Chains A and B, each alone.
Chain A
Amino acid sequence: MKKRWYDYLYIFSALYLFLGLFHILFAWLGVICFITPLLISIFGGGKTYCNKYCGRGQLFELLGKKKKLSRNKPMPRFMTTKWFRYGFLIFFMIMFLNMIFATYLVFSGASSLKEGIKLLWTFRIPMKVYFAKNIFPAWVYQFAFGFYSVMLTSTLLGIITMLLYKPRSWCVYCPMGTMTHGISILKEKTHKKE
């Protein structure tokens, strides 16, 4: 099958993780992967982002399918249920808001910048901002650390389920996917009422 430009977006996903280690401010680029899918589904594009442009999904596919790292076994039934998917979304959102709140505390001056990333919302990995530390206000760096933690944690979870189950198992419970799926269903329902 002919490859299109968007079939190479996995390069950006992989690059993103490396750039973040190089300098934490690159973490801000990840906001694109949060806003674009939402905008696409809000404007009626459904899950086009997941279907075509999601670099992370492509990365899992590449590692699991082409590199044959995946066991290729069906994932547990409960992980495909609405309860699990929306439950994970809520959990994810609480952790996300928690991160936003930490950013706010730094913004308001109530707490100082905490350098380091948190893996799986628990394990703190020390990490320093080596240069360009005083160009932006402290909260910009705090958000970057928090956002990079979110991205790294979710990639890690995705890699674990990629190895254990099918390559794109993450796509089933991906919070962004659940949101865009929910938006698509809501849009369809309201459209029918009209």
Chain B
Amino acid sequence: MKAQVDTDICVACGCCAKACRRNAIQIHKGIYAVVDVEKCTGCGLCQRECPASIITLVDGRALANEKKVV
């Protein structure tokens, strides 16, 4: 189980990054949150925190926002 962020709705508030105990979430240039799949354990703390409730836990490593990050 990995955390996935819906980047179209994400406002980059940083609640998820703050909640993550493993520092697996970074805010990409103040636009959206990016989950480091290597570090993510799928604990769901970020999902609980996200005020917009846009973080979902999914199997595998594919992330919707992976392509967007240069």
- Report if A188-B52 is in contact (Cβ < 8 Å); known contacts: A51-B18, A177-B13: no
Distance in Å from the Cβ of B69 to the closest Cβ of chain A? 11
Could you say which of B25-33, B36-44, B58-66 contacts chain A? B25-33
- How many chain B residues touch A (CB < 8 A): the figure is 20
Report the interface size class on chain A. Answer: 20 to 34
On whether the beta carbons of B15 and A168 are closer than 8 Å, the reply is: yes
- Judge whether A46 and B29 touch: CB under 8 Å: yes
Inter-chain CA distance A115–B11, complex, in Å, is 37
Majority secondary structure, A binding face? helix
Which residues of A lie under 8 Å from residue B48 when comparing CB positions? Answer: 72
A residues whose Cβ falls under 8 Å from a Cβ of B:
1, 41, 45-48, 50-52, 57, 61, 72, 74-75, 80-81, 85, 165-172, 177-178, 180-181, 183-185, 187-188
A-B pairs with lowest CB-CB distance, top 10: A46-B30, A51-B14, A184-B30, A74-B53, A47-B30, A171-B13, A80-B52, A166-B51, A168-B51, A169-B51
